[in-house]
A and B are shown apart, each in its own frame.
Chain A
Amino acid sequence: QKEVEQNSGPLSVPEGAIASLNCTYSDRGSQSFFWYRQYSGKSPELIMFIYSNGDKEDGRFTAQLNKASQYVSLLIRDSQPSDSATYLCAVKSGGSYIPTFGRGTSLIVHP
Chain B
Amino acid sequence: DGGITQSPKYLFRKEGQNVTLSCEQNLNHDAMYWYRQDPGQGLRLIYYSQIVNDFQKGDIAEGYSVSREKKESFPLTVTSAQKNPTAFYLCASSMSARTGSNQPQHFGDGTRLSIL
Which residues does A use to contact B, with CB under 8 Å? Answer: 8, 31-32, 34, 36, 42-46, 49, 51, 88, 90, 92, 94-99, 101-104
Contacts and interface: CB of A to CB of B under 8 A. Distances in A.
Given A90-B104, A92-B102, A98-B58, 9 more contacts: A36-B107, A43-B107, A45-B107, A94-B99, A97-B31, A97-B50, A98-B48, A99-B105, A103-B41
A98 B108 CA distance: 17
Q: Interface size bucket, B side?
A: 20 to 34
Interface string B27-49: 00001010000001111010010
A100 to B, nearest CB: 9
Contact of A88 (B43, B50, B101): B43
A98 B90 contact: no
Contacts of B16: none
Chain A binding surface, main DSSP class = loop
Contact of A102 (B31, B42, B105): B42
Nearest to B108: A43
B72 interface: no
Nearest 8 pairs of A and B residues by beta carbon: A103-B42, A32-B102, A43-B107, A97-B97, A101-B43, A43-B110, A44-B107, A95-B99
Contacts of A43: 90, 107-110
A96 B97 CA distance: 8
A88 B98 CA distance: 22
Q: Among the interface residues B33, B42, B106, which one has the most CB atoms of the partner chain A within 10 A?
A: B42
A98 B42 contact: no
